[in-house]
Amino acid sequence: MIEKAKILDKEALNRSLMRIAHEILEKNKGTQNLCLIGIRSRGACLAQRLGALILRIDQVMVPVGILDITLYRDDLTMIGSGPVVHKTEIDFDITGKNVVLIDDVLYTGRTVRAALDALIDFGRPKTIQLAVLIDRGHRELPIRADYVGKNIPTSKNEIVEVRLEETDGIDEVVIVGQDKPG
Amino acid sequence: MAWIRKDLLGLEDLSREEIELILTTAESFKEISTREIKKVPALRGKTVVNLFYEPSTRTRVSFEVAAKRLSADVINIATETSSVRKGETLIDTGKNIQALKADIIVVRHNCSGAATMLARHLDISVVNAGDGWHEHPTQALLDIFTLKEKFGRIAGLKVSIVGDIAHSRVARSNIWGLTKLGAEVTVCAPKMLIPEGIEKMGARVTYDIDEALKEAEAVNVLRMQFERDEKAAFPQQLEYFKQYGITTQRLKKAKKKIIVMHPGPINRGIEISSEIADGENSVILEQVTNGIAVRMGVLFLVAQARDNNGGNHTD
């Protein structure tokens, strides 16, 4: 595996998040009934950051929750041994809310499908919107994002790695992949 | 670390890391029971069979609730009304359940080692819900889970187990689990109810209840089972309550914040007074709630391991 290209550095990543924060506020006409729910683990970090940015822009603290979708996956038996189940932390009612679901990378759409099932078990939101830092294409389900940090065309044997201060000690997005011989 | 066992037979076989993995998995499952829709699809399409050769309400119901909250289908077999009455052996019953394409058997049996024997003969998962005097791993796990929730740690915790140690699988599983996680375990009972060699499991023995309670941060009170001859039982019960019963009077000499646990069903006025069972030191009902989370965790882990390995059948 070799690192092929840096897609976003710290500054670009933060600018993308700032733009997404503004877009969320624009589309929802402010913070009324708004809440953010991040998918573990990097989506949760991004949700916290977007919450902080929205606080800076509109001086309102919107509720931020964390969703663990392990129990809702349709590929539990395909992802190898021992997926670890973490806690879901949504300590507010999502019924009637505009929920912005947040993840780092949108790829096949299966994670988002699982997250939608999980969210609907918690209540009946007014809307669910999707924000992702990277959209790399190759969807297997009819799912699209409402807010995208950056679209990156990729091949299926590449891996997009989002690295964040909180989980990886650095803010950056890189593509890694096999070096094709010849 | 990853869980690779298709079965949960006892805590003696498990490493500290495996026990900790069950506990953290259970922690994540606890929140599900607080939701409005108390259900996740993790075991959708799986079948769990509760095979109970001994009367049990709370353990069976707890497993049933746990399996249903994971969306599994549950079948209960009470052996009084099954072909076991016609002489079918445990292994034959197990093989028939396997042929029905069930995925997990939860078994309770009065013979020590029954779950282990069943697991050896089957490809599907076996979870021990109590075998003879041997082990009752999920009960000990929920006790340890409750302690961890209350104290934030198990290492160095002083836990006393009081009651019929000799005939208690709950005591055995607790000693294995607690000592592996670094707790200091004391067992206390009249001499005839302490089995020989229990110290080898890592527990300290005392016959003096006040001594057992003096330093303890938690006491796990076991149910006393006296023989059915009521004439003989009654004076024995009174005597036991006087000498070993957990009462307000007795707890005055213990730590103020001592946690009182009991695996249930409780015999009020025999091993514990009503005042203590219902009092502020008691976590008996919290144990019941935690039992669901722990059993959800166990069912999830064994089902996953079997899916990933295709079973680890050794025959």
**Cβ pair B177, B139 in contact under 8 A:** no
Cβ of A85 within 8 Å of Cβ of B4? The answer is no
CA distances from B174 to B134, B144, B190, B219 (A): 11, 8, 19, 12
DSSP-assigned beta bridge partners for residue A101:
A37, A130
CA distances from B24 to A69, B14, B21, B208 (A): 16, 15, 5, 35
Measured distance CA(A134)–CA(A124) in Å, rounded? 27
- B16-136+291-309 and B137-287: identical CATH topology: yes
Taking contacts as CB-CB distances below 8 angstroms, the residues of chain B near A76 are 42, 304, 307
Chain B residue with CA closest to A70: the answer is B42
**Among all chains, which residue has been given the structure tokens 């990933």?**
B308
Measured distance CA(B307)–CA(B301) in Å, rounded? 10
Out of A72, A86, A123, the one facing B40 most closely (by C-beta) is: A72
Measured distance CA(B228)–CA(B102) in Å, rounded? 37
Measured distance CA(B267)–CA(B245) in Å, rounded? 10
Q: Which two tokens stand for residue B162?
A: 């009081």
User: What pLDDT is recorded for position B312?
Assistant: 43
Confidence of residue B146 (pLDDT cuts 50, 70, 90): very high
Domains detected in chain A: 2-72+87-177 (3.40.50.2020)
Gyration radius from chain A CA atoms: 16
Measured distance CA(B50)–CA(B127) in Å, rounded? 9
Higher-pLDDT residue of B236, B172: B172
Cβ of B308 within 8 Å of Cβ of A80? The answer is yes
Q: Which of B174, B172, B169 is nearest to B159 (CA)?
A: B174
Taking contacts as CB-CB distances below 8 angstroms, the residues of chain A near B312 are none
Mutation to test the B interface, candidates A66, A72, A85, A93, most B Cβ within 10 Å: A85
Question: pLDDT tens across B106-123, in order?
Answer: 999 999 999 999 999 999
Q: With a cut of 90, say whether residue B103 has pLDDT above it.
A: yes
User: What pLDDT is recorded for position A179?
Assistant: 57
Q: Which two tokens stand for residue A60?
A: 């309102």
Average pLDDT over residues B126-143: 97
Position A162: which residue type? Answer: V
Which CATH class, in words, describes the domain spanning B137-287? alpha beta
A 10 A CB-CB count for B213 gives 22
Ramachandran quadrant class, B226 (left: phi over 0; alpha: psi -120 to 50; beta: rest): beta
Mutation to test the A interface, candidates B38, B308, B309, B312, most A Cβ within 10 Å: B308
Spatial strand order of the sheet with A2-8 comes to A2-8, A172-177, A158-163
Provide the ipTM: 0.74
Q: With a cut of 80, say whether residue A113 has pLDDT above it.
A: yes
CA distances from A105 to A19, A144, A163 (A): 17, 12, 11
Residues 94-153 of B with CB under 8 A from A: none
A170 contact B CB<8A: no
Cβ of A117 within 8 Å of Cβ of B41? The answer is yes
- Residue ranges per domain, chain B? 16-136+291-309, 137-287
Question: pLDDT tens across B256-304, in order?
Answer: 999 999 999 999 999 999 999 999 999 999 999 999 999 999 999 999 8
**Cβ pair B160, B140 in contact under 8 A:** no
Beta carbons within 8 Å of B128's beta carbon, 6+ residues apart: B7, B8, B9, B10, B107, B115, B116, B135, B136, B137, B138
Cβ of A72 within 8 Å of Cβ of B304? The answer is no
Q: Which two tokens stand for residue B165?
A: 């140690």
Geometric angle at alpha carbon B108, from B107 and B112, rounded to 5°: 110
User: What pLDDT is recorded for position A182?
Assistant: 40
Spatial strand order of the sheet with A64-67 comes to A64-67, A34-39, A98-106, A127-135, A147-151
B72 contact A CB<8A: no
Q: Which of A80, A125, A81, A100 is nearest to A35 (CA)?
A: A100
Cβ of A122 within 8 Å of Cβ of B1? The answer is no
A82 contact B CB<8A: yes
A122 contact B CB<8A: yes
Q: Which of B242, B245, B179 is nearest to B212 (CA)?
A: B245
Question: pLDDT tens across B155-190, in order?
Answer: 999 999 999 999 999 999 999 999 999 999 999 999
Beta carbons within 8 Å of A80's beta carbon, 6+ residues apart: B308
Percentage of residues in chain B having pLDDT higher than 90: 83
CA distance A144 to chain B (A): 24
Q: Which of A39, A117, A88 is nearest to B33 (CA)?
A: A88
Q: Which fold has domain B16-136+291-309?
A: Rossmann fold (3.40.50)
Q: Which of A110, A92, A98, A104 is nearest to A40 (CA)?
A: A104
**Among all chains, which residue has been given the structure tokens 């030191």?**
B281
Average pLDDT over residues B33-38: 89
pTM score of the predicted model: 0.87
Taking contacts as CB-CB distances below 8 angstroms, the residues of chain A near B1 are 82
Spatial strand order of the sheet with B184-188 comes to B204-206, B184-188, B158-162, B218-221, B259-261
A83 contact B CB<8A: yes
